[in-house]
Amino acid sequence: MMSEKNERIFQQAVALRLKGLCAEKQMTVSALAAAAGVAPSTIHSIINLARKNVRVVTIMKLCNGLGISPKDFFNTEVMRALEREVEAAQETPFF
């Protein structure tokens, strides 16, 4: 289970990754929304950190719209560091 701090880091990492990929692919939010089959407001809420929890199906649709795999989406140093931190916390006894 992720701590609240890690949840915020994850939320920010997803937003930054989405912004970066849109810039890299030269896609507007509207173009990505059309390609992914999601509402532009959904993408804006992710980017603007208004949406706390992003559904896996939404990430999958965004990846499809961007022409990348979910593995490519999450393959960033921030995500890998967060994964290591979560794994380490799970190994720590609660008492």
DSSP string, 41-87: HHHHHHHTT--S---HHHHHHHHHHHT--HHHHH-SHHHHHHHHHHH
Give percent of the chain with pLDDT exceeding 70.
93
Q: Residue 26: pLDDT above 60? A: yes
> Among positive and negative, which fits the CA dihedral 9, 15, 19, 24?
positive
Q: Would you give the DSSP letter of residue 39?
A: -
Helices 4-24 and 40-47, axial angle in degrees (round to 10) = 120
Amino acid at 37: G
Q: Which CATH superfamily is domain 4-89 in?
A: lambda repressor-like DNA-binding domains (1.10.260.40)
The answer to whether 47 and 36 have CB atoms below 8 angstroms apart is no
d(CA 69, CA 6): 23
Domain ranges in the chain are 4-89
Q: Which has the higher per-residue pLDDT, 57 or 84?
A: 57
Taking only the tens place, the pLDDT of each residue in 27-73 is 999 999 999 999 999 999 999 999 888 999 999 999 999 999 999 99
